[in-house]
Structure 1
Amino acid sequence: MCDCDWYSRFEGKIVGAIHEFVIAKEWQGKGIGKKLLMTCLDFLEKCSDTIELWVGEKNFGAMKLYEKFGFVPVGKKGIWVRMVRRRQNL
C-alpha cells in the first residue's frame, strides 16, 4: 500500500509511506517487485519529498531492492529497519 498522508513521528511531518509491500515467494525474482515499487514511487513523489518504509532486519533481498531505488537505512526498532528516500538524495 502507498500512503500520501502518513504522519512520521521520526520526520515530524506528513510523508509518503509504503506499507506491507510483499511479493509471493514464487513470484520473487521476476521483476514484479521492481515494477510495483516504481509505481508506488511515481505516486508518492507527487505528494512528498520524503518516503519511508520499514523492513525486517533479515530481509536482505528487499533492503537491496530499496537501496537501488535510493532508500537508506536511518534507524532500527526491534527487528525492523526504517529506510527513507529523500528527493534531495537522488
Structure 2
Amino acid sequence: MLDRSVPYFNVIMKRPPGGPIPECPLPAGYAIAKFIPGKEESWAEIEASVGEFDCAGEAVRYFRQTYLPLPDELGERLLFVENERGEAVGTITCWWDFTAGRRDPSIHWFAVKVGYQGKGLGKALVAVCLQEMIRLEGDRDIYLHTQTWSYKAVRLYSRFGFEIVRDETFGSYRNDYDLAMPILDALLKRERE
C-alpha cells in the first residue's frame, strides 16, 4: 500500500550486472503465472487495490493503451503470483524504457494485494522478474522508478542489489534524489527501530 502521508518524490534505483539473486521460494499454495489475454483485469485490480490507480477501470485503460499493443512481449514479461484458487494476488512487469535511444531493462508496476503482503510473495516476484529480465535482456544494468510513498519497496529492492542513484535516471523519469533521501532515510531508520 502506498503511504500517501509522506511527501511524494521520485526515486531512481539501479541494479548493476553480476550480482546474485537471492533464492525466494513461494509459500505452499502459490504459483507464478505469466500474462495471458484477459488477465489485464486482474492486473488492474491488483494495482488499484494498492492505490496506484483510483479505480480498476482507470488501470485497465492505462494497461490497454500502454502494454496491450505488445501482446507477445506481455506473455514473456508480465508475471503474476496466484493463490491456490488461481486468483492473481500480486504482479510485476519485466519491461524496458528507452533512454536517449538506448533500451534499458526496467521493472514496472510491482504490487501485492494488501491481504497477501508479508508472506514472501513480493520477494518471490522480484526474484523471478530479475531472472526473466537477465534471460531476456542479458545481465546488465536494470533500472526501476519508485517513490517515497513506496519506501517499504525501496528496502525490498535493496535486498536484490538495487541502489538509489544520485545523478542518474532512465526513460523519462525524474530523479528527486536530494528531496527524497532525507524522507527515505528517516522512514527507513524508523522501520529498523
Under TM normalisation by the shorter chain, which class is it? 0.7 to 0.9
- Name the larger-Rg structure: 2
Aligned counterpart for 2:118 among listed residues 25, 29, 32: 29
Is contact 1:2-1:40 (8 Å) kept? Answer: yes
> What is residue 20 of structure 1 aligned with on the other side?
109
Which consecutive unaligned segments of at least 5 residues does structure 2 have? 1-92, 167-174, 182-193
Runs of 4+ with >6 A deviation: 78-81
Higher strand residue share: 1
Distance 1:50 1:26 in 2: 32
Higher helix residue share: 2
> What is residue 54 of structure 1 aligned with on the other side?
145
> What is residue 44 of structure 1 aligned with on the other side?
133
Q: TM-score, normalised by structure 2?
A: 0.36
Distance 1:34 1:8 in 2: 27
2:149 aligns to what SS in structure 1? coil
Distance 1:6 1:23 in 2: 23
> What is residue 98 of structure 2 aligned with on the other side?
7
Tell me the C-alpha RMSD between the 2 structures: 2.4
Q: What percentage of aligned pairs have identical amino acids?
A: 29
Distance 2:180 2:144 in 1: 10
Query: Greater relative contact order: 1 or 2 (C-alpha under 8 angstroms, separation 6 or more)?
Result: 2
Q: TM-score, normalised by structure 1?
A: 0.72
